[in-house]
Each structure stands twice: as structure tokens, then as C-alpha cells.
Chain A
Amino acid sequence: MQSLTTPLLFIFALAVIGYFVAKSRALKVAGGDIRTLVSLPNQHALNTALATIIPPVAAVLLFALYGRLTDGGPNWFFTLVVIGLGVTGCALSLIGIKVESRARTYAERWILGLLIFASTIAIMTTVGIVFSMLFETFNFFGQYDWRDFFFSLSWSPNFRGNSDLGIIPLLWGTLYVSFIALVVAVPIGLFAAIYLSEYAGPRLRSVAKPAIEVLAGIPTIVYGLFALITVGPVLRDYFAEPMGFGQSASSVMTAGIVMGVMLIPFVSSLSDDIINAVPQAMRDGSLGLGATQSETIRQVVIPAALPGIVGAILLAASRAIGETMIVVLGAGAAARLSLNPFEAMTTVTVKIVSQLTGDTDFASPETLVAFALGLTLFVITLGLNVFALYIVRKYREQYE
């Protein structure tokens, strides 16, 4: 790609020159009176510049991809094609400048093309994610039996090979931490949302709502550090050790509680939207029958909002499962199948980080397993998201 820099610079220069040439040519064609032109000189100029730049840049991107796939470096052929495309585009559009030519339509077509290209990047990202992980996961299963990966109960990677790479202990840790996080976040988030939307006066709302939103804006590394230096030691010194549950500061409990705090704003803002979508007529109906506010909320509003709330909880669960920094700093690194929440356990995301930042050979199963873990994580969270978004969307439609 390095040697294509010069032709690209040439193309950009050509586009700038083309812009001004096109402008003056349009004026000349018009005989100095732009009112005779169907399209304005500026539009001719824009068309020429776009026609000069877009095809060669597209070609460069394609060549770069091709070069990577075939491992061939850039060569004179590429350079020639790139420059040729630019010159052709420039020349054709300049020749095309006539009184009646519709340069605006052409220029807008180029722009529309760019807009469409931009919106395909989201698709390409997904394709990139899936393929990059699928490819390396296949490599991994070529070296390691997939049955062992999915069903082995032990995780103990070994630098010299013969590692046990079973995902179950990691999934167990992931689900255990996520479960504790949800146990913390769902009641607090839900009750906070209910109180703020049904009871709180404007003054409390104007303080509490932004404060809870601030929790959502704090980067996860901050929560991780909080788990490491504050929550972990406190839990160890005041709960785990006196009660004889263990001496580890990193534990499922530490990570779970801190992650729960992180999820509170997530649950509360989603529930808030959903509770507000329940029509006021529903509340009036209940209040008009002489129900108290809490009876109305528990027996009418919550049941009506239930699908949406379930969707919100699933989204929160998906976020908990994919969370990395809190568990890296708070949960520990030992893969363990245990019920004791004060013991250090590890999760899928922790192992993705540790296997990919280690010094092992990239082609070894110990490294490649990270891609299989990543793909599993992606599939689980994607499933949860699609399902949750589907539920939430169905719920919204009900009240529209």
C-alpha cells in the first residue's frame, strides 16, 4: 500500500485542478451567462472532482484487499490502473460539460454512492467480526477436539501443550458473576425507576436522575479499579474471612456487586422508558376504582410493562456476560467450578484477554482458543440481544 501513496496524492491534486478547470469551462460553455446552464458551474466542478477521486480510491481499497489476500505487494499494474481511472474520470466529466448536461444529478449520484457505502460499513463490521472469529475457531478445532472444548469440566492451559481447554468452568464463572450482578441491579434499578417515574417530585428527580445516569457514563475500568482496591478488600475483611468463606479479595461476589452497580442505570433507564409507555388511562382506571398507587403499580402497571421489563433485563444480562474490565480486575483468574461466591473464579472474557495478551505462539491452541471463546460469547450475547430487542419492540407496538 505504501507505494500507492504517490498515485493517490497525484489523484487528489488532479481532482483539485479538475474542480477549477470544470468551473471555468462551464462558464465558457455558457458564454459568461450562467443562466443558460442547466446545472451551475459549482455543480459541474463538484461532479468532476468526485468523478476523479472516487473510482481510484475504490480501486486502491480493492487492491489493498486483494494484495492482502494473495500476499502480493503493490506493483506497477496497480499504479497504472489507479492513475488511469483518475485521469479517465476527470477527462470524461470535463468533456461532458455542456449547456444542457445535468451535472447536479451526476454529482448527487456520486454522493448517494458514498452514503450507501458508509451505511454498508455497519454490515461489513458484523461480517468482519463473524468471519475473523469463525476462521480462527476452525483453526482451533483443527488442533483441539470440539467436544473437549464444550464439555470438558477443566480449564488448565499449559505452555508445553496438552492443555485442558474446557469452556464450562469459564461459562460457570461468567453466569455466576452475571447472576449476582442482576440480583443487585434489577431490584435497585427497577425500584429506582418506579419511584422516579411514579412518586418522586420534580426536585428529587432533577437530582437523582442525572446522578444515576452518571453511573452509566463511568468507564468500566473505573469500576474495575473500585472492585480491586475498595470492594474486594472490604468484602474479604468484613464478610469472607470472619464467616470462613475464604481469603480472596477477588471473588465472584466482588465482581458481581460492582457489576451490579454498573448495571443499575442501564436497568433503570430502560425500565423508566417502558413504565412511561404504559398509558395513563390504565393508571386512571385502577386509581378510579380506589386502588392505592402501589397496588396500581404492582397489579396493573408492572404486569402491563412486564414484557418490556423482561427485555430490559435480558439486555442487562447480555451486557453483564460481555463485560470485561470489572471481572479482569475483580473476579480473579482461576477457573473453578464452585458454589462459594467468595472464591475467585474466572470468566470467558477474562480468559480471552489472558490468552491473547500472553506470550504464547499465535498458532497454538492455547491462543486460538480465545477466538472460540469470543465466538461463543458473541453468539450468546447476540442471541440475548436479538431476543430482547424483539420483545421490547413487540411491547412498544402494543401501545402505539
Chain B
Amino acid sequence: MEDMIHVDRAMSTNQDIKISAKGVQVYYADNHAIKDVDVEIDDKTVTAFIGPSGCGKSTFLRCLNRMNDTIDICRVEGDIRIDGEDIYDPKVDPVQLRAKVGMVFQKPNPFPKSIYDNVAYGPKIHGLARNKADLDEIVEKSLRKAALWNEAKDRLQAPGTGLSGGQQQRLCIARAIATAPEVLLMDEPCSALDPIATAQVEELIDELRQTFSVVIVTHSMQQAARVSQKTAFFHLGNLVEYDDTDKIFTNPHDPRTESYISGRIG
């Protein structure tokens, strides 16, 4: 195992590899949804997964924090490692894994609780705060990071569901980073938002890169180009191409990628 990590590191250029996936297959009952995907995701980088709908990009994303475990008919094969540790090892507790690999969903899904309780939920269940003052600090820090503090500081006890769509999604991001994850997975985080809110969230994602490794699934190529440094193109369950974002959008290697980028398929 040690050797493999060594090899992985040797392969990467100047950045650490956070997640490495090898030969990942996903089945929904008889449907082969992900076919033999290999990918290495760098730390402190925004990686975008793009591709037409139904191509498996969200499914693959959900493998990275084992959210697919909650679907009975879903079966995952292959090898996915975070910091060299196999996350599908039977000894791994998905609960601990998900604290380390946070997730933001397509539709803003704040809990029917106050803004404060939404953000404090993760730290509370994981026991990250020793006392109330600690917790207050975590909540404030997370809201600040999510660029929501100024809007929310006077109404922390108001229900999270009362915020606007963009604010709700930023609340969900704050909620996810409050547990101090190392990786943040985002499943089309802007698809339910208007352009202004989208711009705010994109700006936020760029800042989050300082602290986390961010993986974002998006159906918008412009968004991928704007926020990511690395891009992976999925098509019909295959990982077609994975490279620097600039390269993918200017000089794609695979004809399928080119067709998608130029709008011929999708």
C-alpha cells in the first residue's frame, strides 16, 4: 500500500494527490452506470466534472463520500482512496468519512431549523466544540467563509428556510464547511440559482480552494471554465478526458470532448 501512494505521488507534478480512484464501476441493479473510471484529484484545487445529463458525473461524485450507500440497489466496485486510505474498506465508518468529505447538493436543502442550528448541526454531532463559545465561533467562522455572515448575523435564530435561494445554498455550504472537511463535493450547486446568486457562489468556490480540495459537478461548461483548474469530461459512464481546464477547453484530446465543448452533443 505504501508503495502505491509513493507511485501516485511520483506521478503528480507539484501538487499532492488528495483522492485517487482506480477502476471504479457503479451498478444500479443491472444498469452499469460508471464504467472503469480512473481519476486523481489534487489537493487545494477545484476539479470540475462535466458531461451531458445521465453521464454518471453525479453518481461518481456520490461515490467519493459513499452517499451511494444510502441507495439499496447501488453497487460500487473498484478502489477509491483518500490520502491513501481505501474508503470502501470495511473498517471505514461512512459517518467519519462524510465528516471529512463534505457535500453540497443540487437544490438548497436547509433543515427546518434556525440558521444557527443549521450550521451548528455538523459540529454538534461530530463533537467539534467543547462549549457554547466554541460553537459560536465555529458558526461565525463558517458563515464568514461562506460569505453569509453579514446578511445573517442579525437573524441567526430565524429559520434557514426563510432565506433566499442563493442565501440558502450559501448556508448549505457554510453547514458543510463547519465540520472542517478536507474535501468538499458540490453537486451542481448553482443549478437552482439565479445568475447573481450563481456569481456569488462561484466566487465563494474560488476562495474555498485555499482550504479544501473542491470537486464540483456542473452542467454548465462556462462555469467549469470559470471556477476550475482541472476538468473531467464524462460521457455515457466513461471518463473520456481529464486534464487541466485550459487544455480541455482550448485543445481537447478526444473528439467526443470537442463535440461536447462545441455543443454538438449534450
Q: Kindly list chain A residues whose C-beta atoms are within 8 Å of the C-beta of B111.
A: 282, 285-286, 300, 303-304
Q: Kindly list chain A residues whose C-beta atoms are within 8 Å of the C-beta of B125.
A: 289-292, 295, 299
| A287 beta carbon closer than 8 Å to chain B | yes
| A279 beta carbon closer than 8 Å to chain B | yes
| B56 beta carbon closer than 8 Å to chain A | no
Tell whether, in the assembled complex, residue A288 and residue B67 are in contact, meaning their CB atoms are under 8 Å apart: yes
Least Cβ–Cβ distance between A103 and chain B, in angstroms: 56
Tell whether, in the assembled complex, residue B122 and residue A284 are in contact, meaning their CB atoms are under 8 Å apart: no
| B97 beta carbon closer than 8 Å to chain A | yes
| A281 beta carbon closer than 8 Å to chain B | yes
| B175 beta carbon closer than 8 Å to chain A | yes
Q: Which of A279, A281, A282, A289 has the most CB of B within 10 A?
A: A289
Tell whether, in the assembled complex, residue A284 and residue B179 are in contact, meaning their CB atoms are under 8 Å apart: no
Tell whether, in the assembled complex, residue B109 and residue A289 are in contact, meaning their CB atoms are under 8 Å apart: no
Q: Kindly list chain B residues whose C-beta atoms are within 8 Å of the C-beta of A299.
A: 121, 125
| B176 beta carbon closer than 8 Å to chain A | yes
Tell whether, in the assembled complex, residue B113 and residue A284 are in contact, meaning their CB atoms are under 8 Å apart: no
Closest to A299 in B: B121
Picked from A285, A290, A292, the residue with its CB within 8 Å of the CB of B172 is: A285
| Distance of A295 Cα from B121 Cα, bound (Å) | 10
Given the known inter-chain contacts A285-B172, A289-B98, A292-B95, please indicate yes or no for A304 contacting B179, CB distance below 8 A.
Answer: no
Tell whether, in the assembled complex, residue A304 and residue B112 are in contact, meaning their CB atoms are under 8 Å apart: yes
Tell whether, in the assembled complex, residue B176 and residue A288 are in contact, meaning their CB atoms are under 8 Å apart: yes
Closest to A288 in B: B103
Closest to A399 in B: B112
B residues 23-69 with Cβ under 8 Å of A?
Answer: 65, 67
Q: What are 9 A-to-B residue pairs whose CB atoms are below 8 Å? A: A201-B72, A282-B111, A288-B67, A288-B103, A288-B105, A289-B99, A289-B102, A292-B95, A303-B111
Least Cβ–Cβ distance between B53 and chain A, in angstroms: 18
Tell whether, in the assembled complex, residue A289 and residue B122 are in contact, meaning their CB atoms are under 8 Å apart: yes
Chain A interfacial residues counted at CB < 8 A: 19
Tell whether, in the assembled complex, residue A281 and residue B179 are in contact, meaning their CB atoms are under 8 Å apart: no
Least Cβ–Cβ distance between B113 and chain A, in angstroms: 7
Least Cβ–Cβ distance between A204 and chain B, in angstroms: 13
Closest to A202 in B: B72
Q: Which of B72, B98, B104, B176 has the most CB of A within 10 A?
A: B98
| B107 beta carbon closer than 8 Å to chain A | yes
Which residues of B does A touch, CB under 8 Å?
Answer: 65, 67, 70, 72, 95-100, 102-105, 107, 109-113, 121-122, 125-126, 172, 175-176, 179
Given the known inter-chain contacts A282-B109, A304-B111, A304-B112, please indicate yes or no for A290 contacting B96, CB distance below 8 A.
Answer: yes
Picked from B99, B112, B175, B176, the residue with its CB within 8 Å of the CB of A303 is: B112
Tell whether, in the assembled complex, residue A291 and residue B95 are in contact, meaning their CB atoms are under 8 Å apart: yes
Picked from A201, A281, A292, A300, the residue with its CB within 8 Å of the CB of B105 is: A281
Q: Which of B72, B122, B125 has the most CB of A within 10 A?
A: B125
| 10 residue pairs, one from A and one from B, having the closest CB atoms | A290-B99, A288-B103, A290-B98, A281-B109, A285-B109, A289-B122, A304-B112, A291-B125, A290-B95, A292-B95
Tell whether, in the assembled complex, residue B67 and residue A290 are in contact, meaning their CB atoms are under 8 Å apart: no
Q: Kindly list chain A residues whose C-beta atoms are within 8 Å of the C-beta of B121.
A: 286, 289, 291, 299-300
Closest to A305 in B: B112
Q: Kindly list chain B residues whose C-beta atoms are within 8 Å of the C-beta of A279.
A: 109
Tell whether, in the assembled complex, residue B179 and residue A289 are in contact, meaning their CB atoms are under 8 Å apart: yes
Q: Kindly list chain B residues whose C-beta atoms are within 8 Å of the C-beta of A285.
A: 105, 109-111, 172, 175
Q: Kindly list chain A residues whose C-beta atoms are within 8 Å of the C-beta of B107.
A: 281
Q: Kindly list chain A residues whose C-beta atoms are within 8 Å of the C-beta of B100.
A: 290
| Distance of A30 Cα from B20 Cα, bound (Å) | 86
Q: A282-B111, A283-B70, A303-B113 known; 19 other A-B pairs, CB under 8 Å?
A: A284-B105, A284-B109, A285-B105, A285-B172, A287-B67, A287-B98, A288-B67, A288-B102, A289-B102, A289-B176, A290-B96, A290-B97, A290-B99, A290-B102, A290-B125, A290-B179, A291-B121, A291-B125, A292-B95
Q: Kindly list chain B residues whose C-beta atoms are within 8 Å of the C-beta of A303.
A: 111-113
| Distance of A372 Cα from B46 Cα, bound (Å) | 74
Q: Kindly list chain B residues whose C-beta atoms are within 8 Å of the C-beta of A288.
A: 65, 67, 98, 102-105, 176
| Distance of A304 Cα from B112 Cα, bound (Å) | 6
Closest to A292 in B: B95
Least Cβ–Cβ distance between B253 and chain A, in angstroms: 33
Q: Kindly list chain A residues whose C-beta atoms are within 8 Å of the C-beta of B72.
A: 201
Least Cβ–Cβ distance between B129 and chain A, in angstroms: 15
Q: Kindly list chain B residues whose C-beta atoms are within 8 Å of the C-beta of A287.
A: 67, 70, 98
| Distance of A295 Cα from B126 Cα, bound (Å) | 11
Tell whether, in the assembled complex, residue A290 and residue B109 are in contact, meaning their CB atoms are under 8 Å apart: no
Q: Kindly list chain B residues whose C-beta atoms are within 8 Å of the C-beta of A282.
A: 109, 111-112
A residues 299-330 with Cβ under 8 Å of B?
Answer: 299-300, 303-304
| Distance of A390 Cα from B95 Cα, bound (Å) | 38
| Distance of A229 Cα from B67 Cα, bound (Å) | 52
| Distance of A281 Cα from B99 Cα, bound (Å) | 18
A residues 252-299 with Cβ under 8 Å of B?
Answer: 279, 281-292, 295, 299
